[in-house]
Amino acid sequence: MKISLGRFVPGNSLFHKADPRTKIIWTVAMMVLVLMCRNYVEYAVAAVFVIASFVASKVSFKFILQSLKPILVLLIFTSLFNFLFYRGENVAFMMWSKPIYWESIAMSIKTVVRVVLLIISASLLTYTSSAVSITDGLESLMRPLGVIKVPVHEIAMMMSIALRFIPTFADETDKIIKAQAARGAEFDSRNVIKKVKSYIPVLIPLFIAAFKSAEDMSTAMESRCYRGGKGRTRFKVLRFSSADIVITVATVLFAASIIVLHIFIK
């Protein structure tokens, strides 16, 4: 069974080629810059940059819509609240004999744009990088924390083993559910308590399998001379490429323009 981890869609775009560290820093930078935006000009610049990035990532628009969907309801609600309870000075029109102000419309638009831009930026990271490469990127970025005794290597090893086992356990769960269903277990009760209870015959074998795997795994690692991060060399190294330079330069220019606009437009 092929299970896609996270939402990674393989590809060959500028973003796919970039180093995960660049993409992680890029995402954080985008968050900060989008949240800094205050006026329409800044929003317009940010929107253009995010859309340009989106085009450069060659991620299908369908996928972006998918990640926006769950947030959409939230957006509609906040806008509605804004309309109903915000008191401004310039009345735009009346709705159900309640005044709707220009200010609240403007605010709603800004909120929507802001959230949409944030989500698109974050989606670009997860759609163009595998979970494994994000882990590698995080490990590399967190390495300086080793100085203050954060067990960076151990955390990264744990994350990587967890990622490695997700598909294995998904397969295992499927088999256990079938084995129990075959001897009469039913999982489709409408009663919540009954439903939770019906999964006990699945959870127990799954936990036992997980413990067994963990035990086997630690023996296998020990047998292959694993003794923690000390003195270890790395097979996989992250390397920056021209894609990273392009993204970095573009982002620096974008950041500069936002900051300049921030200072000059009051």
Partner 1 sequence: MTETEKYIEFNNVTFSYGTQGDETESRKRKDAVKDVSFAIEKGTFVCIIGSNGSGKSTVAKLMNGLILPTSGTVISAGYDTSDDQNIWEIRRLVGMVFQNPDNQIIATSVEEDVAFGLENIGVPREEMIARVDEALKMCGVDKYRHSEPHLLSGGQKQRVSIAGILAMRPSCIVLDESTAMLDPKGRKQVLDIVKKLNKEENITVILITHHMDEIVDADRVLVMEKGELVKAGTPVEIFSDRELISDLGLDLPPAARVFEPEDGHDFGETVLTKEQGVSVLMKKLV
Partner 2 sequence: MSILIKDLKYTYMPKTPFEKTAIHDISLEIQKGEFVAVIGHTGSGKSTLLQHLNGLLLPTEGEVFIDGEKITKKNLSEIRRKVGFVFQYPEHQLFEDTVYKDIAFALKRFKLSDEEIDAKVRKAANTVGLDEALFESSVFDLSGGEKRRVAICGVLVSDPSYLLLDEPASGLDGKGRRDMLALLKKLNSEGVTIVLISHSMDDVAEVADRIILINEGTVALDGTPGEVFSKEELLASMSLDVPEVTKLFNDFSKRSGIPLPTVTTALQGREIIRMLINEGRLVL
- Asked if residue 237 binds partner 1 (CB under 8 A), the reply is yes
Look up residue 168 and give its DSSP letter.
H
CB 29 within 8 A of CB 251: yes
Q: Which residues of 17-28 are buried (b: 16+ CB within 10 A; e: fewer)?
A: bbbbbbbbbbbe
Q: Which of 164, 247, 173, 161 is nearest to 203 (CA)?
A: 173
CB 43 within 8 A of CB 110: yes
Note the maximum CA span of the chain.
Answer: 77
| Amino acid residing at 21 | R
Q: Which does 176 bind (CB under 5 to 8 A by kind): partner 2, partner 1, none?
A: partner 2
d(CA 86, CA 106): 11
Question: Least distance to partner 2 from the beta carbon of 227, Å?
Answer: 31
- Asked if residue 241 binds partner 1 (CB under 8 A), the reply is no
Question: Which residues between 134 and 173 bind partner 2 (CB under 8 A)?
Answer: 172
Question: Which residues between 156 and 195 bind partner 1 (CB under 8 A)?
Answer: 160-161, 163-164, 167-168, 171
Question: Least distance to partner 2 from the beta carbon of 130, Å?
Answer: 17
- Asked if residue 184 binds partner 2 (CB under 8 A), the reply is yes
For the chain, where are the alpha helices, taking DSSP H only?
Answer: 14-17, 20-36, 40-57, 61-85, 102-128, 131-142, 152-182, 192-198, 200-223, 242-264
Number of residues that bind partner 1 (CB under 8 A): 29
- Asked if residue 214 binds partner 2 (CB under 8 A), the reply is no
Closer by beta carbon to partner 2, 183 or else 230: 183
Q: Which stretch binds partner 2 (CB under 8 A): 23-31, 148-156, 184-192, 241-249?
A: 184-192
CA–CA distance from 99 to each of 65, 93, 103, 109 (Å)?
32, 6, 11, 18
- Asked if residue 213 binds partner 1 (CB under 8 A), the reply is yes
CB 266 within 8 A of CB 50: no
CB 247 within 8 A of CB 14: yes
Q: Which does 219 bind (CB under 5 to 8 A by kind): partner 2, partner 1, none?
A: partner 1
Site string for partner 2, 190-209 (x = CB under 8 A): ----------xx--xx--xx
Question: Which residues between 46 and 65 bind partner 1 (CB under 8 A)?
Answer: none
Q: Which does 236 bind (CB under 5 to 8 A by kind): partner 2, partner 1, none?
A: partner 1
Question: Least distance to partner 2 from the beta carbon of 134, Å?
Answer: 22
Question: Least distance to partner 1 from the beta carbon of 178, Å?
Answer: 18
Residue selected from 52, 158, 181, 252 as contacting partner 2 according to rule CB under 8 A: 181
Residue that has been written with the tokens 């220009």 in this structure: 102
- Asked if residue 103 binds partner 2 (CB under 8 A), the reply is no
Residues that bind partner 2 (CB under 8 A): 2, 172, 175-176, 178-186, 200-201, 204-205, 208-209, 212
